[in-house]
Chain A
Amino acid sequence: MSATDLLNLLIAALLLAGVYAVMSVGMTIIYGVMKIVNLAHAGFLMLGAYFVYELYTHLGIDPLLGVLLSFPVFFLIGMAVHRILVRRIPISDQPSLTSLLLLFGLWLVLQNLGYLVWGNSDRAILTPRTLDVLEIGPIGFPTVRLVVFGVALAALAGLEFVLHKTWFGRAVRALMQNNDAGRIVGVNVDRTARVAFGVGIAFAGVAGGLLAMLYSFSPDFGGPFLLRAFVIIVLGGLESFAGVAIGSLILALVETFGILALPANYQPAIAFSLLVVALVVLPGGVAGLWNRRRRLA
């Protein structure tokens, strides 16, 4: 294998990591603020993909614009879901059985609504630039992947800004660190949770749209990505945004270079194996390792 191939794979992994981060960050917000593992994330990823697809095929709206539009739409959907369903289950500082099952039920409903509306054939979004490649020297950058990576970075930067510069962001971070203390200093838990849920779902929708530009999809689309998102947030230590970035990069690297060692058939098993390794070796995620070393020093 030549150095160029290696570089190509490295770049492919980096570009993939961007989408993975957008996909996982919504799950982290929801988990952090509410300690809910949002299994319905998979359903919203799928809906995000079809949202962009429908806008493109029926209204001729460019998928990029579609992704931008999906943010507010899914934000509102997320707030509504919180209002109607999630708010009814008791708040706890431990992930509860009830919330897991509730959102799993929602995933089932969304997925099968998908089957009802779109059938089970695979769809793909093909635009004139789908097959474009930007050549810089010996290295080829598929344009779509570059664009997707750009949008992903912009979304993450926006989130970073909101989390650190606004009242809502501070409230979110406070609740993530300590729910009770957050309440004591006057954070409106219900409203913050509702908005956080909306943001989480909005990121799921955006990620779905971005993934739809890269892969073909069916109503079953979300499942494998749900597992990946979970692996990423476990690697990142569950509640850290920096951890999400690291986790995405690790998973993307392992998956991309895994192709060299494993037949493509076994690809779905990679994410799971990584999860087991992470659980056994790094219970606190990569960040936990970092903290432990700092404590020892």
Chain B
Amino acid sequence: MEQKAPSGMRRVRNRGVLGFALLLAILVVLPLFGLSPNAVRLLFVTFVWVTVSIAWNILGGFGGQVSFGFAVFYGLGAYAAALAVNRGLPTIVALLLSAGVAVLASLLIGLPTFRLRGPYFAIATIGVSESVRVLMTNVSMTGGASGYRILETGPFRQLDHFYISLALAVVALAASVEVRRSRFGLALIAIREDEDAASDLGVNPFRTKLLAHALAAALTGAAGGVYAQYAAFIHPQGVFAFSIGVAILLMPIIGGVGTIWGPVVGGVVYGLIHDELVASFPQLHLLIYGSLLILIVLFEPAGLYGLLDRWFRALAGARRIRAAVP
């Protein structure tokens, strides 16, 4: 169904695409101008977080299914990639394996819990997260609780990792945009708004949720794989930690849940400030995130992106008024 957008709207959209292309170009060439290794690392981590934030938003934001258990996919992806790399498989294959394993896990979790609506899925994800972490601390093939090391064969090239993570974040963003535009995305939003009505209109809620869960899991698993190859050492208390699952949920919500750019904003903010925050307030940082979550739920459900959007609109409006009344 082709719908002609008003020319003003098309201009705005074109400007958005142009701005995005510019931003991407800057990010691609930025590390070539002597950025410090630490700055490159920070950007790398930020891209990983942006990816998982976007992934969570596909299920949680568009579909309204809150999951506390994305650490499962992140951790499984990390382990799958680590095992694959140590068997001499190329990076791309390792990342595909990461995504595949995460998709399998998402089906195992989703098949029983999506049969029922309501909070079952959300709470079950807390349980899955704990169970998988316990399981992984007891699996001897991956070193159990003491962790697993990737044996590097070549020299460490930080920029390779940087570009891989950037590419993955772009893929995630493209997937999110594509979902939002597609029939599938509309079905997800319909389910979030009213599952009965969606079902009456011919949407299969069970299958749609399962598919969104799988897509989100694939992206999150791949992000875990990218991280594992950079870190070269992973352990269950790190990649399967409940706090990782919490972080993955907080980013899109703080940024602006259910939008395209909100999760990106959330991921960027989290990626850039998280290390600083943990370093300065080792005990307090989750307290800060928790309070932020409460404030956002109560006062600004559209998140930081909504707040920024409102400010820009107010600024633009003020300018227009000033222009009109000289």
Which A residues are within 8 Å of any B CB, using their own CB? 37, 85, 88-89, 94-95, 97-98, 100-102, 104-109, 111-113, 115-116, 223-224, 226-227, 230-231, 234, 265-266, 268-269, 271-273, 275-276, 279-280, 283
Residue numbers in A under 8 Å from B123 (CB-CB): 37, 227, 230, 275
Question: Contact mask B88-116 → A, CB, 8 Å, 1/0?
Answer: 00000000000000000000000011011
Residue numbers in B under 8 Å from A265 (CB-CB): 134, 137-138
- Docked Cα-Cα span, A268 to B130, in Å, equals 7
Contact of A105 among B124, B131, B294 (CB under 8 A): B294
Contact across chains for B138 and A105 when beta carbons are under 8 A apart: no
Given known A112-B283, A280-B112, contact A100–B119 (CB-CB < 8 A)? yes
- Docked Cα-Cα span, A88 to B128, in Å, equals 31
Residue numbers in B under 8 Å from A280 (CB-CB): 112, 115
- Docked Cα-Cα span, A227 to B301, in Å, equals 27
- Docked Cα-Cα span, A62 to B81, in Å, equals 54
Residue numbers in B under 8 Å from A100 (CB-CB): 66, 119, 122
Contact across chains for B66 and A97 when beta carbons are under 8 A apart: yes
Contact of B119 among A95, A109, A231, A276 (CB under 8 A): A95
Contact across chains for A105 and B293 when beta carbons are under 8 A apart: yes
- Subset of 14 A-B contacts with CB under 8 Å: A89-B298, A101-B66, A102-B298, A106-B290, A108-B286, A112-B290, A223-B130, A223-B242, A231-B127, A265-B137, A269-B134, A275-B123, A276-B113, A279-B116
Residue numbers in A under 8 Å from B124 (CB-CB): 272, 275-276, 279
Contact across chains for B283 and A266 when beta carbons are under 8 A apart: no
**B171 proximal to A (CB < 8 A):** no
Contact across chains for B283 and A115 when beta carbons are under 8 A apart: yes
Interface residues in B, total, Cβ within 8 A: 39
Given known A223-B242, A226-B126, A280-B115, contact A112–B286 (CB-CB < 8 A)? yes
Residue numbers in A under 8 Å from B138 (CB-CB): 265-266
- Docked Cα-Cα span, A89 to B297, in Å, equals 9
Contact of A102 among B116, B135, B287, B297 (CB under 8 A): B297
Residue numbers in A under 8 Å from B119 (CB-CB): 37, 95, 100
- Docked Cα-Cα span, A107 to B131, in Å, equals 20
**B291 proximal to A (CB < 8 A):** yes
**B261 proximal to A (CB < 8 A):** no
Q: Which 8 A-B pairs have the closest CB atoms?
A: A108-B290, A105-B293, A272-B127, A112-B287, A109-B290, A105-B294, A269-B131, A37-B119
Contact across chains for B294 and A85 when beta carbons are under 8 A apart: yes
- Docked Cα-Cα span, A127 to B179, in Å, equals 59
Q: Main SS of chain A's interface residues?
A: helix
Name which of A97, A102, A275 has the most chain B CB atoms within 10 A of its CB: A97
Shortest distance in angstroms between A48's beta carbon and chain B's nearest beta carbon? 19
- Docked Cα-Cα span, A282 to B239, in Å, equals 33
Shortest distance in angstroms between B190's beta carbon and chain A's nearest beta carbon? 15
**B64 proximal to A (CB < 8 A):** yes
- Docked Cα-Cα span, A265 to B145, in Å, equals 12
Residue numbers in B under 8 Å from A105 (CB-CB): 290-294, 297
Given known A101-B253, A108-B286, A234-B120, contact A271–B127 (CB-CB < 8 A)? yes
Contact across chains for B118 and A95 when beta carbons are under 8 A apart: yes
Contact across chains for A272 and B66 when beta carbons are under 8 A apart: no
Closest to A279 in B: B112
Given known A37-B119, A265-B134, A280-B112, contact A116–B283 (CB-CB < 8 A)? yes
